[in-house]
């Protein structure tokens, strides 16, 4: 758990520092070569949840749906310039994913391995 939190914090810090610079160099909004934002979003989506491959797959599906549909405020955050826009929408999608999965784990028969 501590390693998960450390890696999440380190990658988020690196992403916030680097994404805006990469965007400027690529001269394109949220260039597809940037994937650290998705990694951070997924790590957030799985934070404080039991390790189970079915849960990881479910997290991935939920995260991708949220990242594609962009419910409020994800769509607004994505429009921010630089690193905050690139990282922010995936961070919020990861938080939403985590909330959904916390409910699934706590209030259904799914208990993980």
Is residue 112 one of the residues assigned to a domain?
no
Q: Which SS3 state, helix, strand or coil, does residue 50 take? A: coil
pLDDT in tens, the chain (113 residues): 899 999 999 999 999 999 999 999 999 888 999 999 999 999 999 999 999 999 999 999 999 999 999 999 999 999 999 999 999 999 999 999 999 999 999 998 776 55
Is residue 113 one of the residues assigned to a domain?
no
Is residue 47 one of the residues assigned to a domain?
yes
Is residue 52 one of the residues assigned to a domain?
yes
For residues 85 and 78, give the distance between their C-alpha atoms in angstroms, rounded to a whole number: 4
Is residue 33 one of the residues assigned to a domain?
yes
pLDDT attached to residue 58: 97
Q: How far is CA 97 from the centre of its chain?
A: 8
Domain residues for the domain of 73 are 2-107
For residues 55 and 57, give the distance between their C-alpha atoms in angstroms, rounded to a whole number: 5
For residues 47 and 45, give the distance between their C-alpha atoms in angstroms, rounded to a whole number: 6
pLDDT attached to residue 28: 87
Is residue 14 one of the residues assigned to a domain?
yes
pLDDT attached to residue 30: 86
* Number of domains the chain contains: 1
Stated pTM of the model: 0.92
Kindly state the tokens that stand for 47.
């934070």
Is residue 20 one of the residues assigned to a domain?
yes
pLDDT attached to residue 97: 98
Q: CA quadruple 17, 47, 90, 35: dihedral positive or negative?
A: positive
Q: Which SS3 state, helix, strand or coil, does residue 72 take? A: coil
């Amino acid at each position: 758990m501590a390693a998960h939190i450390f890696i999440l914090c380190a990658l988020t810090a690196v992403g916030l520092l680097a994404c805006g610079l990469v965007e400027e160099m690529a001269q394109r909004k949220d260039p597809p070569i940037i994937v650290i934002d998705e990694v951070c979003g997924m790590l957030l989506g799985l934070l404080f949840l039991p390790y189970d491959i079915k849960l990881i797959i479910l997290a991935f599906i939920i995260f991708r749906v949220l990242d594609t549909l962009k419910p409020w405020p994800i769509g607004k955050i994505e429009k921010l310039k630089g690193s905050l826009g690139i990282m922010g929408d995936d961070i919020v999608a990861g938080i939403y994913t985590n909330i959904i999965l916390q409910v699934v784990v706590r209030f259904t028969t799914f208990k993980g391995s």
